[in-house]
Amino acid sequence: MSFAPVSAVTSIAPIASVEPFHAIAISRIAHELAAQGRDVIHMEFGQPSTGAPTAAIAEAHRVLDSEAMGYWESNPLKERIARYYAEVHGMAVDREQVILTCGASPALVLALSCLFAPGARVVLARPGYVAYRNVLRALYLEPVELACGPDERFQVTAAALAALDPAPDGLIIASPANPTGTIIPDEELAAIAAVCRERGIRVISDEIYHGLSFGAPAGSLLEHLPEAFVVNSFSKYFSMPGWRLGWLVVPPASIAAARARMGNLFLTPPVIAQRAGLVAFECGEELAGYVGTYARNRELMLAALPALGLERIAPPDGAFYIYADVGHLTQDSLAFCEQLLRDTGVATAPGLDFDPVDGGRYIRFSFAVSTPLVEAALARMIPWFQSHA
């Protein structure tokens, strides 16, 4: 038996290159400053400060006291999620189409690995959530970023998809979107679905900010494209980011593939989170109060923009972000956010995360913190921005 020398093996692909998440670097500096005694306000992450609903926390205590837990998947929770689609979107979703995941991030990995082979071209909006681009690259998929500005409300459009030649293999959309908070109108969602069906484009719809809208609610792509993969999470509307619980809705033909990937890559979500998540679905009044807090914070932020000298923003229809153009102050949003943090104690996210081309002139504020913290942050930032104008 003979073996080829190592030097003769030329088919090994290089390890995928993944860019860092720059907001994490800002957050690291923020925590270092806090450890030194500085008063820091965290507006760099989309992380609700409200905490899980009271009844969900009580259920978690009960589970800790009474169950050994283990590897387990909650059929009652899957049934409740399926009922949510019937109640809110008028869609018939079978329980088995719901794959429970350890948050939205594994759901995205599951969807991409079910749909695409290495080398597939997947379209996404620019600006868009940093992990879309980076997870695509980590899986040896090719991100095709479409520049989306004010004219497109910072969203991919059906017309832009129809004009692509050749047609891409896939599309990731988010409505409400991160970092902009923009919502795709229902008629545009329908048009996007029609183009994708006609051109054979497979779609992943990130709907983790559903429930967080400040006008008309966001529609689900499932209403127009039942064969889409839909990602959702308990981290945003349900205010449970640390519980690491999400789900993926898959078409019937992909159930086996998605379950196999979930079982091998991630096993199951935490039992305690699944128990609490089922209870959280019945906490509508408390959750509506959380949304009311974000609505007040949004109004405070919008009212303060003139004093901050920020005239160009994406319209925050939902989620809890203001994506603002600071190009009159900087072309280096990472350095800008670091200086703002060191001078004022307010941590924000650099636009470079969301847009590798034009993001140097944008920053993102998250108003998911408490209303008093939004007020305190504005009191610090207004004079700072005015002194740099």
Q: Residue 386 and residue 369: Cα distance in Å, rounded?
A: 23
If phi > 0 it is left, if psi is from -120 to 50 it is alpha, else beta; for residue 103 that is left
Q: Do the domain assignments include residue 202?
A: yes
Given a contact cutoff of 8 angstroms between Cβ atoms, the answer to whether 26 and 347 are in contact is: yes
Q: Residue 5 and residue 13: Cα distance in Å, rounded?
A: 17
Strands 349-350 and 346-347: unpaired
Q: Inform me whether the pLDDT recorded for 257 exceeds 60.
A: yes
252 and 300: one domain? no
Q: Inform me whether the pLDDT recorded for 3 exceeds 60.
A: no
What is the pLDDT, as a whole number, of residue 67?
86
Q: Do the domain assignments include residue 322?
A: yes
Q: Do the domain assignments include residue 136?
A: yes
pLDDT band at 389 (very low <50, low <70, confident <90, very high): confident
Determine what percent of the chain is predicted with pLDDT higher than 90. Answer: 90
Q: Which residues contact 137 (CB under 8 A, 6 or more apart)?
A: 16, 17, 18, 19, 143
267 and 144: one domain? yes
What are residue 93's phi and psi, to 5 degrees?
A: -115, 125
Q: What is the residue range of 289's domain?
A: 17-46+285-388
What is the pLDDT, as a whole number, of residue 11?
60
Last residue of a domain, one of 282, 306, 329: 282
255 and 332: one domain? no
Structural domains of the chain, count:
2
Give the count of beta carbons closer than 10 Å to the beta carbon of residue 177: 31
Q: What is residue 151's three-state secondary structure?
A: helix
What is the pLDDT, as a whole number, of residue 49?
86
Average pLDDT over residues 179-205: 97
- Model pLDDT for residues 131-147, shown as the tens digit of each residue: 999 999 999 999 999 99
223 and 325: one domain? no
Average pLDDT over residues 341-363: 97
Question: Domain holding 217: CATH number?
Answer: 3.40.640.10
Q: Give all strands of the β-sheet with 121-126 in edge-to-edge order.
A: 98-101, 246-249, 229-233, 202-206, 170-174, 121-126, 142-147
Q: Inform me whether the pLDDT recorded for 155 exceeds 90.
A: yes
Average pLDDT over residues 352-356: 96
pLDDT band at 5 (very low <50, low <70, confident <90, very high): low
Rounded to the nearest integer, the mean pLDDT of the chain is: 94
What is the pLDDT, as a whole number, of residue 21?
87
Tokens of 78: 């899957």
- Model pLDDT for residues 285-311, shown as the tens digit of each residue: 999 999 999 999 999 999 999 999 999
pLDDT band at 19 (very low <50, low <70, confident <90, very high): confident
DSSP string, 94-120: -GGGEEEESSHHHHHHHHHHHH--TT-
Determine what percent of the chain is predicted with pLDDT higher than 70. Answer: 97
What is the pLDDT, as a whole number, of residue 20?
81
Q: Do the domain assignments include residue 92?
A: yes
Q: What is residue 299's three-state secondary structure?
A: helix
Locus of tokens 């690259």? 137
Q: Inform me whether the pLDDT recorded for 2 exceeds 80.
A: no
Written as one letter, the residue type at 255 is I
pLDDT band at 6 (very low <50, low <70, confident <90, very high): very low
- Model pLDDT for residues 80-107, shown as the tens digit of each residue: 999 999 999 999 999 999 999 999 999 9
What are residue 168's phi and psi, to 5 degrees?
A: -70, 165
Last residue of a domain, one of 282, 303, 336: 282
Q: Is the pTM of this model over 0.75?
A: yes
261 and 360: one domain? no
214 and 363: one domain? no
What is the pLDDT, as a whole number, of residue 8?
46
| Range of lowest pLDDT (15-29, 167-181, 225-239, 252-266) | 15-29
Q: Do the domain assignments include residue 6?
A: no
